[in-house]
Amino acid sequence: GDTYRADAIKAFDHLQRVNAQYTANGVENIIDDYSALIAAVELFHATQQARFLDAARDRAGRLMARQTPEGSFISDAGSRPYYHAVEAGLPALSLAHYLDIETDDARRSRVREVIRAALTREVDITQRVPNPFGYA
């Protein structure tokens, strides 16, 4: 427990400082945002340290800023829509997970709006074409 938690904090702090250096173009994208959001939520649960709530709020804000008016997400600096064969729902899922630790009503309301818009968009685009497997 303690060793794992300490290592997770060390890794999180490292990526908070230098994650952009690990990217192909020096710029974080949506995957960095939802991954760091999930990590911050888990570390807040494990430690109750306010800095992880602050980090989660920051990443949730970045992630929500990537949402288009139609409800989809932009992957990078505004030039590419986000799509993923396996992780399509992780932006919304990470925001739902974030609601577990967010206590501010205004933030919670905004997050719910973003999740609702994202899920509505996914269902909408899924129903536009034949979908024999019922994927959404």
* All structural domains of the chain: 2-127 (1.50.10.20)
In the numeric block, which tokens belong to residue 41?
């939520």
pLDDT at residue number 94: 98
Query: Average pLDDT for residues 10-15, to the nearest whole number?
Result: 98
pLDDT > 90: percent of the chain? 76
In 10 A of CB 15, how many CB atoms?
17
On average, the pLDDT of the chain sits at 93
**Banded model confidence at residue 8, pLDDT cuts 50, 70, 90:** very high
Query: Average pLDDT for residues 45-67, to the nearest whole number?
Result: 98
User: 130 or 73: which carries more pLDDT confidence?
Assistant: 73
The pLDDT tens digits for 99-126 are 999 999 999 999 999 999 999 998 898 8
Q: Which of 106, 89, 15, 22 minimizes the C-alpha distance to 59?
A: 15
Give CA–CA dist 63/31, Å, rounded: 9
